[in-house]
Structure 1
Amino acid sequence: MRLPVPHLSVLTIVSTIIALTTATAAPATAQPASTVSAGATSINPYDIVVTDQASDQIIVLDDDAAGWTRRSQKWHWKPTAAQGFSDLTDNWGLPDEAKLRHHDGHRYLLTTDSYGLAAVVPYPSGKGSYWAADVGRADNAHSIELLPSGNVAVTASTGGWVRIYTASQGRRSDAYVQLPLAGAHGVVWDPATQLLWTLGDHEVVGLRVGGTQAEPTLTRRITHQLPSDWGHDLQLVPHRPDRLWVTTGTRVYQMSKLTGRFHSDYPGAETVDTEGIKSVTTNPHTGQILTTKTEPGNPCTWCTSTVRMHLPADSRTLPDGEIYKARWWVDYAR
């Protein structure tokens, strides 16, 4: 069920600058490791989560391991009928997003799959879902975010849209409000600006989420044109609440939310800023940057078996892996 799209009011650039300048949120701070239930390990802020399309799994791996093997897995997940996904297993096969988020005192894996599954899954149990839906097998769901309201934002690149699903209304709620965004790839909630930032083929857009939990609204607040095309990944920059990571087909930038300036002189740019980067994140504890990049010869032409670190330089390789994205297993949005 699709909710009616609200009228999109155009706000002045002056109000935008005031809103961003007066944002009071502090930079991201380190979250202590906490103990999880029996059968799972404690959350280690140096662990790495990957979307492995060879095994069709979300895998959490130990960064301390000198070399990854399949035995290095600390946790893994894919939807099964036994876990309560009997109606959605056909929408899984090319996982392309994985994030850790907290809501109402609980931890969740946020994930999407190109075959149409979008889900918020309890971690570490992996059983059932806070929310899950088939968002369109042909639309190529590409990223997901959990909002403070309990609703869920999803982007789809082929579908060319950003949606807010009313996940707060039930674990299979399929009502949504939608805005068009060509090539929509990335989405992230930003506590500093209280905006939902999204990334498409040619622009970064800051959206204001309004309305109610049952009837949300989306309004374009800020638009910044990309200096190079084919936007791909969008993430917060820990300790720099004024910036976002933005990757395109050929470059990796840090974008100023206030001015729309795309910076390429950030620490680590000499190795990070290159073509083919599919994901980029910074560890808020160490400042180390994590990237994935297309790997020639990989059976999956958009994947890699190696995750690379920068500042300091390092790498981890998953044998026979087809990794699309890799992220530090950390909640950046808290």
Structure 2
Amino acid sequence: MKKRRSLPAALFCLLAIGATAQNNGNNQDTLAVAACKKCLVIAEQSQHRIVIAEVPSGRVIWEWKPESSNVQPAHVKWFSNPSDAKMVYNNGYVLMNASGGGVALIRVADKKTIFYAYVGGNTHSAELLPDGNIVSASSTGNYLMVFKTDTLHYPGDVYTKKIPIDFGHNVVWDAKQQRLWSAAREHMHSFRYNFNCNAPDLVQDTVFSLPGTEAHDLFPVYGENSLWLTNTTNVYKFDPVTLKLTQADVVQANIKSVSSAGNGFPTIVARPKVSWWTDEVIDAKGKRLFIRKGWKIYKARWVVPNTFSYPAGDQMHLCR
């Protein structure tokens, strides 16, 4: 029997990349995002869109609007006032959510909405679970919602499960400890995932008090095993192993988002100028790094890998 010769690893990778580009259509957007040395992914509410923009020029290199995508016209209103956006799957996809109640997983290469669903309750955050399912947090609804990321039957006929939580504003997966963190008003919650692809669920593991009230943003500190945590008065670093909080050396009070990216990148924050939005992104000391007049920025994050939550080089995967 004649043996098959295996392809060299480098050639195999090139073929795989070529196949992905062919399947995804025009791949220029992916290349532009990958080539950007300092870019932000922004939840921008003046035009109800997600933007990837260059710093400090402000040049927009990518944007997604629901009305220009494959979102059904009747569902476009779900994506009014985007409230968060995270780069996932090795920066090849964007996971976003909106106050209008929608959650969407968007492919950067062709801006196709691979999956979307209605959450409701003023959705403030979303997160990928290890098997590709999604969990979201809603503030006025006071719940987390877990979805089976069913790309064949969305947005209607997909499995969901609600988990009550007070003033839900954030969800972050901790890959090392295999748990989900959510800071809700004045308490930190951790949950265990049942790893059931078809019937995903979360079981509360621990809950303990936090200083202050109305916890808002929770997001990994780049290069550290810790999380940024904001509330109405302070910004903290939270250690998920010791469960200790340390006040961060960052401008304080009413911070909507915090993001870091290691050497050469300042820690950035989004702090409202008007109501809940701003037209600029500032550094930890309050110095302006980015401004676009007329924009309504709710949250802004560096486009960098998130190895706190996902494996290095993580690729799109769905359980079946």
Kindly provide the CA deviation profile for residues 178-199 of structure 1, in whole angstroms up to 9, marking residues without a partner as x. Answer: 2111000011111121111112
Q: Partner residue of 1:109?
A: 94
Counterpart position of 1:215? 199
Distance in 1 separating the partners of 2:54 and 2:278: 18
- 1:284-333 Cα offsets, whole Å, 9 max, x none, are 454521100111xx3xx101111012389552111111111011122313
Query: Is structure 2 residue 156 aligned with structure 1 residue 178?
Result: no
**Partner-residue secondary structure (3-state), 2:127:** strand
What residue in structure 2 maps to residue 147 of structure 1?
129
Kindly provide the amino acid, as one letter, of the partner of residue 79 in structure 2.
W
Instruction: Select the structure with the greater relative contact order (CA < 8 A; seq sep ≥ 6).
Output: 1
Task: Note closer, same or farther for the CA distance 1:182–1:214 as it changes in structure 2 (3 Å cut).
Answer: same
The one-letter amino acid of 2:205's match is R
Question: Would you identify which runs of 4 or more consecutive aligned residues in structure 1 move more than 6 Å?
Answer: none
Aligned partner of 1:322 in structure 2 is 296
Amino acid at match of 2:142: G
* Backbone CA RMSD of aligned residues: 2.2
Provide closer, same or farther for how the CA distance between residues 288 and 133 of structure 1 changes in structure 2, counting only shifts above 3 A.
same
Which of 308, 319, 328 matches 2:282? Answer: 308
Equivalent residue, structure 2, for 1:18: none
Separation (CA, whole Å) in 1 of partners of 2:266 and 2:201 = 37
- Give yes or no for contact 1:52–1:59 (8 Å, CA) kept in 2: yes
**Equivalent residue in structure 2 for 1:98, among 80, 85, 109:** 85
Query: What corresponds to 2:316 in structure 1?
Result: none
Q: Which runs of 5+ in 1 are unaligned?
A: 1-34
Are 2:28 and 1:38 aligned?
yes
1:227 is paired with a residue of what secondary structure? coil
Q: Is the 8 A contact 1:199 1:234 kept in 2?
A: yes
1:98/1:112 contact within 8 Å kept: yes
1:247: which partner in 2? 230
Q: 2:240 aligns with which of 250, 253, 257?
A: 257
Match of residue 53, structure 2, among 55, 61, 76: 61
User: What's 2:260 paired with?
Assistant: 282
Are 2:289 and 1:331 equivalent residues in the alignment? no
Unaligned runs of 5+ in 2: 1-20, 311-320
Deviations 1:192-229 (A, max 9, x none): 21111112111121111014100122111122311010
Relative distance call for 1:39 and 1:325 in structure 2 (3 A) is closer
Letter in 1 for 2:259: T
Q: TM-score, normalised by structure 2?
A: 0.81
For residue 87 of structure 1, report the CA deviation from its aligned partner.
3.9
Identity over aligned pairs, percent: 25
What TM-score does the superposition give when structure 1 sets the normalisation length? 0.78
- CA 168–202 in structure 1, closer or farther in 2 if over 3 Å, else same: same
| Counterpart Cα distance in 1 of 2:50 and 2:33 | 17
Alignment of 1:51 onto 2:43 = yes
Letter in 2 for 1:250: T
